[in-house]
Amino acid sequence: MADGRRTPDQILGPFFPQGHKPTASGDLTLTRGRQGCAQGEIVEVRGHIFNREGMPVRGARLIVWQANSFGRYAHSNDSNPAPLDPSFIGFAEILSDRVGAYWFKTVKPGAYPAGPDWMRPPHIHFEVHGHSERLITQMYFAGEALNTTDRILMSASHQDLLIASPLPLADELGHRAFDFDIVLSRG
């Protein structure tokens, strides 16, 4: 747990999913009704939801969404010329378990242009519904060069709480894993 500091708020956008049902399996690399696996580096994200006292938040609802490995969202308003991945919508809804743990498998999102002189680093959006509060935040990957110039990340009060830690393990296929704990005020 990150010493009782609340995970910083981040912006909701862009491109909150529309017209798609979130996957509930925790595996964003496979999309129901579509053939094939998502393109890109497959990664696992795991962590815990805590309150500021360090108690696990059981049954927290996490909605996650992200760009594909090319940096494009499956959203009609995303004008990025990067290709769409027909096997990836990048949208899931999962629950934390009895010890506040959550897990999902996805592809590492690509960076994308957010303006003429600004590239967003790879990141994943989170909307977390605890028992008494809602948090909108974003998770960034450690070691990304674009992290240090991202206006949204740099505007956060405690940027270190938004950077996922790489775990020293990989699954049997060599997929990297990242740890991202989320702290709510009350839970």
Catalytic residue, from 72, 102, 120, 140: name it.
120
Element (H, E) at 154: helix 151-154
For the question of residue 123 being annotated catalytic, the response is: yes
Catalytic residue, from 6, 48, 75, 112: name it.
112
The most distant pair of C-alpha atoms in the chain lies apart, rounded to whole Å, by: 45
For the question of residue 112 being annotated catalytic, the response is: yes
Within 10 A of 149 (CB to CB), how many other CB atoms are there? 13
For the question of residue 131 being annotated catalytic, the response is: no
Catalytic residue, from 6, 72, 73, 140: name it.
73
For the question of residue 73 being annotated catalytic, the response is: yes
How far is 120 from 124, CA to CA, in rounded Å?
A: 11
The answer to whether the beta carbons of residues 162 and 138 sit under 8 Å apart is yes
For the question of residue 75 being annotated catalytic, the response is: no
Catalytic residue, from 48, 75, 123, 140: name it.
123
How far is 20 from 75, CA to CA, in rounded Å?
A: 9
Catalytic residue, from 48, 125, 140, 158: name it.
125
Question: Taken in order 18, 101, 43, 142, is the CA torsion positive or negative?
Answer: positive
* DSSP letters spanning 31-44: -TT--SB-SS-EEE
How far is 51 from 152, CA to CA, in rounded Å?
A: 24
How far is 116 from 166, CA to CA, in rounded Å?
A: 31
Which of the residues are catalytic? 73, 112, 120, 123, 125
